Amino acid sequence: MKHAIELTINGKCYQIEVEPEERLLDVLRDRLGLIGAKEGCSTGDCGACTVLMNGQAVTSCMILAVAVDGADITTIEGLEKDGEIHPLQKAFIEEGAVQCGYCTPGMILSALALLKENPEPSDDEIRRALAGNLCRCTGYTRIIAAVKAGAERMKNHG
C-alpha cells in the first residue's frame, strides 16, 4: 500500500506517494533526481548517502521515507545560493579535498552539520564528526584542511 508523504527538500515542498520499503535515499535519487546523495555501502557504514534531516546529518540509506513524513531535508544540491556554491564547497575545491568525488557530498554535509554547531572545531572534533564518512582516494588530510578553511570562509561570508 502506498502512503502519501510531504517532505521539504532544499526549501521546496514535495508531496509524494511512496511504497513502505522506499528509503529516503531512493526518493531523493530515483523520484526527484537529486543524485548528489550517493549509495555506497547501503548499510550506514560509509556515509556517502549523508543528508541533513532537520539540520542533523543522517545516513539516508537507513531511513524509510514513509517514517519521516514532514521532515526538512537538505541535500548537497541545496547548498548553492544565487548561482554560487557554498563557501565550504569552495574550500573543498581549493584545498584539493576532492578526487573522485563520490564521498564529497556526504563529507560536506557532515562537515556543515558540525560547523553549524561548532564554528571553530579542532582537528580531533573534525575527525570525530567525519568518522562516519569514508573516503577511499583523496585521503583525509586535505579534507580536514578543507573543513578548517571552510570554517574560516563561513565566518567571513556568513
Partner 1 sequence: MQFEYFRPQSMNEALRFLADHKKEAMILAGGTDVINGLRTGKQAAKYLVDIGHLADMKGIHPADDGLFIGALAKVRDIERSPLLVDGWRVIAQAAGTLASAQIRNLATIGGNICNASPSADMAPALLVLDSMAEIAGIEERHRVPLDQFFKGPGKTILAPGQILIGFHVGRQLPNTAGYYIKRGVRRAMDCAIVGVAALASTSDGHLSKVRIALGAVAPTPFRAYKAEQFILEQGDLDQTTISKAARIASEACRPIDDVRSRAWYRRRMVEVETNRALGWVAKELKWGEG
Question: Which residues of this protein are in contact with partner 1, per CB under 8 A?
Answer: 1, 3, 20-21, 23, 42-45, 47, 50, 53, 56-59, 61-64, 66-67, 110, 113-114, 128-129, 131-133
Amino acid at 44: G
Instruction: Using the minimum distance from each CB to partner 1, give the nearer residue, 1 or 13.
Output: 1
> Shortest Cβ distance from residue 128 to partner 1 (Å)?
7
- Using CA atoms, how far residue 13 sits from 24, 34, 73, 90, in Å, is 15, 14, 10, 27
Instruction: Using the minimum distance from each CB to partner 1, give the nearer residue, 93 or 119.
Output: 119
Instruction: Using the minimum distance from each CB to partner 1, give the nearer residue, 15 or 43.
Output: 43
> Shortest Cβ distance from residue 150 to partner 1 (Å)?
17
